[in-house]
Amino acid sequence: MADRYLHLTGTAPGRFLARRLGLPQPAPLRRWTLETPRLDGPLLHLTAGNSAITDELAKALAATGLTVDPQAAHPAGIVLDATGVTSARGLAEVHAALHPVVRSQAPGGRIVVIGTPPSSEDHHQAAAQQALEGFVRSLAKETGRGSTAQLVRIPAGAAPGAAESTLRFLLSPRSAYVSGQVIELTTAAPDPVADQDAPLSGRTALVTGAARGIGASVASVLARDGAHVIVLDVPQAQDDLVRTADRLGATALPLDITAPDAAARIAAAAPDGLDVLVHNAGITRDRRLANMPADRWAQVIDVNLDSVLRTTDELLTSGTLNRGGRVVATASIAGIAGNNGQTNYAASKAGVIGLVRSLGPRAAAGHGVTVNAVAPGFIETKMTAAVPLFIREAGRRMNSLSQGGLPVDVAEAVAWFAQPGSAAVNGQVLRVCGQSLLGA
Ligand SMILES: NC(=O)c1ccc[n+]([C@@H]2O[C@H](COP(=O)([O-])OP(=O)(O)OC[C@H]3O[C@@H](n4cnc5c(N)ncnc54)[C@H](O)[C@@H]3O)[C@@H](O)[C@H]2O)c1
């Protein structure tokens, strides 16, 4: 469904009216296209405190393809290395570094603050590093004009190149609808990427619920990134599924993911194993708990959570998920904030978060596989088009970017998790919600 308000405020009279009436002024977001794959301008690399990773970070920033220019008057990206901030007083350097430059940032810009995990042994360091979280979440609310801000925590002893894929993603148009997020990396070394324009080339990815909506977009972005994609959806959606498959040169697998033999059928469809498994299929059966029959509860838990647990377990233990594999599940901000009439859905999506956090480290240690999740906010799909007008309008505007996201925004986040270079991204839940106020 078209966002007419966003269209209106994209015109000069509309902008004038919105400003005069004090209404939200969403900036059109610039997303990835073949012609404009990068941010439009240079990068500023700043440091607060004594950093031990300056050279390594400079290498990672150079790999983004953006020009690092210390004199940039209107930087498209600003990266502040605050890993060396270890005290409350040291936070003054964060202010001193960013205060003079935030105003001059180009519209649609990116701010990335680099921190390090708060220490359990040094409460001064922990306070200073945790302070960065509140700082970044607030800055993300202030930046405006389609700009975003995030915090990336790099642990001591991180492997060379561990942060590269994350910086590439955050400092690009691909992360247009991600803001106010905290990403904590591990020390794992990235798997090599031969071609950054096709990082998934030679890999096989399976996407569930891919006949339409977010799943179809995920399949399309993974195919763009070079993967051979297997698209899975219920047999009733076969026509749409085959259309998606034909469009992408993908393989269609009509299958209900809750079927007892689902994992075996997936394994049979991927004789060389799977490199990427995206659990996207999801349903809602909304009712308040007092009015909710057991079958509506069970259907949602079965599709959104139990089948995710079952198939992940079976595909891991059978070795169908290749070493270096990536599992990406789909949570929701409803699973973080809760939602009236969605006890079943929110329980299932919160369960996905529990799965990711628990299994991520063990899957990496035992199988060399990472497990992460996206948590979409308000995304413009058939599902949200069916929401009553007033609630839909509120859902669209109640975030720092004052607009709904597009399926491709979720797909780009999935593609970042799926990359071979993202081995250090594990056990993370990334909200793709424009920094929604819900559950923030
Ligand atoms: N649209 C949003 O704003 C939003 C927000 C948060 C989370 N999500 C989540 O993102 C995912 C995709 O959402 P969407 O908006 O594209 O939904 P959608 O309803 O448009 O698509 C979901 C797809 O999953 C398929 N599916 C359902 N049950 C299945 C089963 N048992 N086996 C195989 N396939 C099955 C459906 O046939 C459909 O094609 C879901 O997990 C949803 O909960 C969406």
> What is the tens place of the pLDDT at every residue in 16-42?
666 766 767 788 999 999 999 999 999
State the Cα–Cα distance between residues 218 and 358, nearest whole angstrom: 24
State the Cα–Cα distance between residues 210 and 280, nearest whole angstrom: 8
Assess contact for 367 and 314: CB atoms under 8 A. no
State the Cα–Cα distance between residues 314 and 97, nearest whole angstrom: 50
Q: What is the pLDDT of residue 17?
A: 67
Beta strand extents in 314-407 (DSSP E only): 321-330, 370-376
Q: What is the pLDDT of residue 21?
A: 67
- Please compute the mean of the pLDDT values over residues 141-166 and round it to a whole number: 96
Tell which one of 234, 266, 356, 378 to mutate to probe ligand 1, the residue whose CB is within 8 A of the most ligand atoms: 234
DSSP state of 370: E
Class in CATH terms, 40-184? alpha beta
CA atoms within 13 A on the CB side of 222: 37
CA 352–ligand 1 middle distance (angstroms): 14
Residue 192 pLDDT greater than 70, yes or no: yes
- Phi and psi angles of residue 250, each rounded to the nearest 5 degrees, phi first: -100, 175
CB of 214 within 6 A of ligand 1: the answer is yes
Q: What is the pLDDT of residue 237?
A: 98
User: Would 40-184 and 204-432 be classified into the same CATH topology?
Assistant: yes
Tell which one of 280, 382, 410 to mutate to probe ligand 1, the residue whose CB is within 8 A of the most ligand atoms: 280
State the Cα–Cα distance between residues 95 and 88, nearest whole angstrom: 12
Closest CA relative to residue 164, chosen from 54, 61, 41, 69:
61
Assess contact for 190 and 382: CB atoms under 8 A. no
Pairing of strands 77-84, 274-279: unpaired
Helix (H, G, I), strand (E, B) or coil at 374: strand
Ligand 1, atom 40: closest residue by C-alpha = 282
CA 346–ligand 1 middle distance (angstroms): 14
Banded model confidence at residue 104, pLDDT cuts 50, 70, 90 = very high
CA 290–ligand 1 middle distance (angstroms): 25
User: CB atoms < 10 A from the CB of 291, how many?
Assistant: 9
Residue 85 pLDDT greater than 90, yes or no: yes
Q: Which member of 5, 135, 297, 345 is catalytic?
A: 345
3-state helix, strand, coil in the chain (%, to 5): 40, 20, 40
CA 16–ligand 1 middle distance (angstroms): 38
CB of 233 within 6 A of ligand 1: the answer is yes
Q: What is the pLDDT of residue 122?
A: 98
- Please compute the mean of the pLDDT values over residues 251-269 and round it to a whole number: 98
Residue 377 pLDDT greater than 80, yes or no: yes
What is the pTM (predicted TM-score) of this model?
0.96
CA atoms within 13 A on the CB side of 215: 29
Residue 10 pLDDT greater than 80, yes or no: no
Q: What is the pLDDT of residue 391?
A: 85
CA gyration radius, the chain:
21
Q: What is the pLDDT of residue 8?
A: 74
Residue 3 pLDDT greater than 90, yes or no: no
Instruction: Please report which helix (H) or strand (E) contains residue 151, including its range.
Output: strand 148-153
Per CATH, domain 204-432 is 3.40.50.720? yes
Residue 249 pLDDT greater than 60, yes or no: yes
* Tens-place pLDDT, residues 298-344: 999 999 999 999 999 999 999 999 999 999 999 999 999 999 999 99
CA 381–ligand 1 middle distance (angstroms): 10
SS (H, E, C) 429-440: EEEECCCECCCC
CB of 280 within 6 A of ligand 1: the answer is yes
Assess contact for 114 and 97: CB atoms under 8 A. no
Banded model confidence at residue 388, pLDDT cuts 50, 70, 90 = confident
Handedness of CA 414, 416, 420, 423 (dihedral sign): negative
Ligand 1, atom 43: closest residue by C-alpha = 282
Q: Which amino acid is at 215?
A: G
- Tell me the two tokens of residue 200: 């998934």
State the Cα–Cα distance between residues 336 and 318, nearest whole angstrom: 32
**Domain spans in the chain, listed from the N-terminal domain onward:** 40-184, 204-432
Banded model confidence at residue 186, pLDDT cuts 50, 70, 90 = very high
Q: What is the pLDDT of residue 269?
A: 98
- Please compute the mean of the pLDDT values over residues 360-375 and round it to a whole number: 98
State the Cα–Cα distance between residues 64 and 347, nearest whole angstrom: 38
Percent of the chain having pLDDT more than 70? 97
CB of 219 within 6 A of ligand 1: the answer is no
Tell which one of 1, 214, 238, 429 to mutate to probe ligand 1, the residue whose CB is within 8 A of the most ligand atoms: 214
Alpha-carbon separation of residue 119 from 83, 86, 128, 425 (angstroms)? 12, 10, 10, 19
CB of 404 within 6 A of ligand 1: the answer is no
Ligand 1 atom closest to the CA of 216, numbered from 1: 16
Percent of the chain having pLDDT more than 90? 89
Beta strand extents in 186-331 (DSSP E only): 204-208, 228-233, 251-254, 274-279, 321-330
* Residue 345 annotated to the active site: yes
